[in-house]
Structure 1
Amino acid sequence: MPTTAAPRGPVPSDVVTSDAALRRYLHGLPGVDAVGLEARAAGLGTRSIKTTAKAYAIDLAISMIDLTTLEGADTPGKVRALCAKGRHPDPTDPSAPRVAAICVYPDMAAVAREALGAGSGIAVASVATAFPAGRAGLDVKLADTREAVAAGADEIDMVIDRGAFLTGRYLQVYEEIRQVKDACGAAHLKVIFENGELATYDNIRRASWLAMLAGADFIKTSTGKVAVSATPPNTLLMLEAVRDFRTATGRQVGVKPAGGIRTAKDALKYLVMVNETLGDDWLSPDWFRFGASSLLNDLLMQRQKLATGRYSGPDYVTVD
């Protein structure tokens, strides 16, 4: 059952012609039933997945991971090791699926591109636009994006200007997303909201629609750099937004929860949420991703347990 009402009819053609028109549209979206949203997310989290379905879900979750390192101490060696892990997550079991992408800072995109090589089936994702704060001029953000794409990034994860959004400068945020999308060229664009800083469910819903109207290929919960990152309620809200957006426009947009998802149990709860809210259409790395690093290790340990009946423990997986 939806916890937000869908907008009625198609998106008006003049919605992005002025700040006033965009504000009127975004604030005209039906309000979020916070109690219903949280109850629905909690209820979906109680679903149990067993045996063959669990094995399928674990492999699917592995294939949806953007294996990530975004630290000031990142080195080419660390990125190469992460790429090797992404290609062969479990060296003892060649049947383990590869991850969806390796996510790094722009200056490490070329290292990841070279390490993955041609035909790996793994994308290079790069954060850009002055990640994680987004405190830079548009010219700097566009240069950051172009640098990452030129270095070999297939996907760009940008952050919105939360200050502009929270003060109602929606057209400025829209234009930044649109111009970054243009700078991406053939690369896909994921737009990060930092839900913990947006504060309200209504703001998260407005940001979702704003990013999708501007051309986002994915909408993403968070940077993983603040206290509140991905949560089941705020991810459910974004899933409902992409569902309603496709109904209104015919265009499908992906969702990426990031930050705080560390266990296989948590990942499977999110997959249940996707299945119950969106169905099979979004149960693919093309449309749903996990932004994570430690999550992969727990998925691999659970996978080994299903195969052998024994829980091997963290010493049997590589440390990122």
Structure 2
Amino acid sequence: MRLVFAGTPSAAVPTLHRLAAEHDIAAVVTRPDAPLGRKRVLTPSPVAQAAAERGLPVIRAARLDDAVTAEIAALEPELGVIVAYGGLVREPLLSTPDAGWINLHFSLLPAWRGAAPVQRALIAGDEVLGASVFQLVPELDAGDVFARRTVAVPSSATAGEALEALASDGADLTAEVVAAIAAGEARAVPQEGEPTFAAKLSLADGLLDFTQPVSSVFARFRGVTPEPGAHTTVDGQRLKILAAEPAVGEEQLPPGVLSGTRTALLIGTATAPLAVTRVQPAGKGAMNAADWWRGLQGGERRAGS
């Protein structure tokens, strides 16, 4: 088929590669270059970089306005495919391709409609993750579903690690749906059940609450890693928590109280401690958490202080 592909982050790249190998990609739509790093260097999105590697034409757009719609319409695509582009597709663009648009979404719809499905699912403690390919409609992530697939994700996987697995499986799922649409064999069914919603995460979502059980603290850590990042404060300074897991065989500590072992920083919760193995103090680089703890002066320390 003749396709237009829209996507921005690295999670969209496997689908772009898979479809480009099997179909005619008329254009790739992605967000404009963004400033990254401490020096704020303008950097193309992962999708823009992947498109350039394949020699595909790229349309950079912060929003899909009339000008972008006209540019896409001139390409006469048969189908639009969108994966985490970061903007809404509205009419008349929604109806511009002959078969409309399909969307790869990283949840088992109608669960976790919205911008951060994997992150919110992990924070909520969901044990099963998955991907869905559905027909794009004006209502948020509400279209009929062509296919779903559950994906086995390790119980310790962070959102970044889970999304990487889902992106790979999702690329296969999307390719199967596009092939079925091309053959005239695709069938979509309405979503069933009560939807849940996955709002975009803010920096505040990464703050860990150590008054909760360690299972809840770890679930939030998983959901906000690597973005927006898990953190707490110690002695009034922000401390990023980069690697952690529930402690095994350690005595319970009061919520928020810090202690150390030879290999980890322990932080008390309402149940077992959280064992932190890598941190990033304010203004410094990432380091071993046990080394950071040993470098502090004596006295009791409490996370959140």
* Both structures adopt the same fold (TM-score exceeding 0.5): no
TM-score, normalised with respect to structure 2: 0.23
More relative contact order in 1 or in 2 (CA 8 Å, sep 6+)?
1
TM-score, normalised with respect to structure 1: 0.23
More strand by share: 2
More helix by share: 1
Larger radius of gyration: 2
